[in-house]
Amino acid sequence: MPSEPNLSTPMQNRLLATLPNAVQQRLFPHLEPVSLPLGEVLYESGGSLRYVYFPTDAIVSLLYVMRSGASAEISVVGNEGIVGIAVFMGGDSTPSRAIVQSAGNGYRLLGSRLKDEFNRDAEMRLLMLRYTQALITQMAQTAVCNRHHSVDQ
């Protein structure tokens, strides 16, 4: 993953901007700016998640990958969120693939650092769990729409 300076700031990611000030002070020095080019795979289904990603102006698709290799988009993550929730939800891998759908920039952070902070700060933990609940809701809506609506709808 190439890491390049960009013109964004961590505060352009709404989840990072909402973190308690003390958490920001502990995490922001460890955020690494990254360029997220179109089509870049941030992680593969079943792979280990070393980093989490906070897009600032990129959009990342999360795809569920089946044994046959077929996949379907289950959600998207933009500057409102984080890519790699499995890190703090108790898993070291995920059944989804994360691929950049709209090029841009973001920040990455070692998953272990995020997990340590998740376990340390109750306010951050609640924020991350609420984000996860919103992401699950988006996934459910996507599944229902894919089942009951045509492409035109």
Q: In CATH, what number is assigned to the domain containing residue 74?
A: 2.60.120.10
Boundaries of domain holding 137 = 10-141
Cα 90 from chain centroid? 15
Instruction: Indicate whether 34 belongs to any domain.
Output: yes
Residue 1 has pLDDT above 70, yes or no: no
Alpha helices for the chain (secondary structure H): 14-18, 21-27, 111-120, 122-148
Q: Does the pLDDT of residue 151 top 90, yes or no?
A: no
Q: Is residue 137 part of a domain?
A: yes
Inside any domain, residue 91: yes
Q: At what angle do helices 122-148 and 111-120 cross, to 10 degrees?
A: 120
| Residue 5, domain member (yes or no) | no
- Residue-wise pLDDT for 16-43, tens only, equals 999 999 999 999 999 999 999 999 999 9
Q: Is residue 37 part of a domain?
A: yes
Residue with tokens 């109750």: 122
- Written as one letter, the residue type at 102 is S
Half-sphere exposure of 117 (CA within 13 A, CB side): 23
Query: Could you report the per-residue pLDDT of 102-115, keeping only the tens digit for each?
Result: 999 999 999 999 99
Q: Strand pairing of 59-65 and 71-77?
A: antiparallel
Give the pTM.
0.85
Residue 46 lies in a domain: yes
How many domains would you assign to the chain? 1
Name the β-bridge partners of 109.
52
Domain contains 39: yes
Count Cα atoms within 13 angstroms, Cβ side, for 31. 27
Query: For residue 134, is it within any domain?
Result: yes
Q: How many helices (H) and strands (E) does the chain have?
A: 4, 7
